[in-house]
Amino acid sequence: MVSLILALASGPVVAPPDAAVLGEIQRAARAEQWVSLPIGERTVRVAEFFLGTPYVGGTLDTNPDREVCTVVLDGLDCVTLAEVSFNIARWLKGSPQTPEQLVKLVEETRYRNGRNTGYASRLHYTTEWFYDMGQRQLGTNLAGELPGAVTEFKRINFMTQNADKYPAIAAGGAPMISALKQHENRLSGLRLPYVPLSALGGAETRLRTGDLIGITTDREGLDTSHVGLFVRDEEGKTYFLHASSSQKMVVKQQGFLEAIKRQPRVTGVVVFRPREVGGF
């Protein structure tokens, strides 16, 4: 069991003894020369380190009254696996390699414009998460460049329409709902492209190891229902690496297309390709 729980300005730094997981990752990275790999492949190496880690949801929402940039490594959900793997991959090639620096990198990707100014500043919707990181040149919001991509209007409002599911919204009341509605309306207006399921076979040939995959859904008000990483091995076999709620752990499923098609209520995918960014 390995964990790292850290918080920036809004709370104290806490590093339990089993935060030695970062040392284990560093040793594996040195032994296998991960820093020589492209950012996507390095991200996958980190994600593979977490294979078998329990699926745990809600780790970012333990304090509904205050938004703290928290990083937990002993239990991951689909989003935190992708987020942590990408940021540890960046962290391994930068300086300083401290727990505090990792939290800073996570904050840069978790929040709108890279700054934690409260719960409403968190990039709760995957399509906006990909879009925001692309705008800040942390990678490419790739779906629109893939064959078969389409753009359709969809009203994004799941969180405000289901406010009772989110303790932080209840704690924030009407002002929180108003702030989130503004972001949902803006996201709806962006009309971001995705690759529909019918075109995924052609688009799959253009994907690279380490691409972050958001699975789009027909669920009303929601953009995506799941997130994972695309992997292609040296033999050309493809995989979907993700934190699975049904299998209750981080898994690597062979057959990317088949894994995507098995997801409930899937309509297609959005894709983010990480970019190497130096000089933290």
User: What mean pLDDT do residues 127-134 have?
Assistant: 98
Q: What span, in angstroms and rounded, lies between the C-alpha atoms of 215 and 78?
A: 11
pLDDT at position 31 over 50: yes
Does the pTM of the predicted model rise above 0.85? Answer: yes
Q: How far is 247 from 83, CA to CA, in rounded Å?
A: 20
For residue 164, what are the contacts with CB-CB under 8 A and spacing of at least 6? 170
**CA 187 from centroid of its chain's CA atoms:** 17
Closest by Cα among 227, 256, 221 to 130: 227
- pLDDT, one tens digit per residue, over 225-271 is 999 999 999 999 999 999 999 999 999 999 999 999 999 999 999 99
Task: Say yes or no: domain 17-135 is CATH 2.60.40.1220.
Answer: no
Two tokens, residue 128: 């906006």
Supply the pLDDT for residue 14. Answer: 35
Judged against a pLDDT cut of 50, whether residue 3 lies above it is answered with no
Q: Residue 58 is inside which H or E element, if any?
A: none
Confidence class of residue 100 from pLDDT cuts 50, 70 and 90? confident
Q: Which CATH code for domain 140-274?
A: 2.30.260.10
Query: Is it true that 17-135 and 140-274 share their CATH fold?
Result: no
Location of structure tokens 């309509």: 267
pLDDT the model gives residue 277: 80
Domain ranges of the chain: 17-135, 140-274
pLDDT surpasses 80 at 79: yes
Residue 92: pLDDT above 80?
A: yes
Residue 91 and residue 111 in contact, taking contact as beta carbons nearer than 8 Å: no
Alpha-carbon distance of 242 to 225, in angstroms, equals: 13
- CB within 8 A of 271, min separation 6: which ones? 130, 141, 142, 143, 146, 195, 207, 211, 212, 213, 214, 230
